[in-house]
Structure 1
Amino acid sequence: MSRRAGYEESWDLTYLVEQLRELIGRDLELHPELAEELEDTLDSLVLRNQRLRGLQRMVNAEREPDDLAVLRGALENMDRELMDRLPMLLERLRAAMQ
């Protein structure tokens, strides 16, 4: 995968998240706490994507293993956090849409 493709994919994800934010904000009347949780999760998804792209750039630049390990660890922690949060968030969003 070229760096250009990675950048375009990152921009595309950010754009899609912004569209989702707009759609949810306009069409759904969510409880403020749920709306905030959703917003935080969308921010985390964009940040995760940026970290992943950063890791790919570091690998391509043949950075030091310690530098890669730190970024990989941060990415893995973020993945665990998202995997903990997303199922409950999805359940709450489904309930709010009924």
Structure 2
Amino acid sequence: MPRRAGYEESWELTYRVEQLRELVGQELRLDDALAEDLETTLVRLVLRNQRLRGLQRMVSAEREPEDLAMFRAALEDLDRQLLQDLPGLLERLRATVL
């Protein structure tokens, strides 16, 4: 059953990223701190995507279960961090929509 929680987190992350994409497509008034937070989050999302692709390649290459578990744990940790930070960032971005 632990994978079920991962799917729920994945759906929530996908939902939040879609909200972010929609906001970034609008005209925003960003102060320096918000612009930096947005850039940091976007870099973390790219890193997450790279880790996910790496995990998929490792699964296809039939890597050792221990290696997969370590890589999956790092990805899940990044997902938790993003899920914790994205709601606040989205709220701050919504406040800047012109």
TM-score (normalised: structure 1): 0.71
Aligned to 1:79: 79
Aligned to 2:46: 46
Q: Structure 1, residues 17-38: CA drift from partner, whole Å, max 9, x if none?
A: 8xx5xx67xx533110000000
Q: Whose helix fraction is larger, Structure 1's or Structure 2's? A: 1
Stretches of 4+ aligned residues off by more than 2 angstroms: none
Q: Percent identity?
A: 63
Equivalent-residue separation in structure 1 for 2:92 and 2:33 (angstroms): 11
Structure 1's unaligned 5+ residue stretches are: 1-16
Structure 2's unaligned 5+ residue stretches are: 1-20
Aligned to 1:33: 33
Which of 1 and 2 has higher RCO (CA within 8 Å, sep 6+)? 2
Aligned to 1:4: none
TM-score (normalised: structure 2): 0.71
Equivalent-residue separation in structure 1 for 2:62 and 2:56 (angstroms): 10
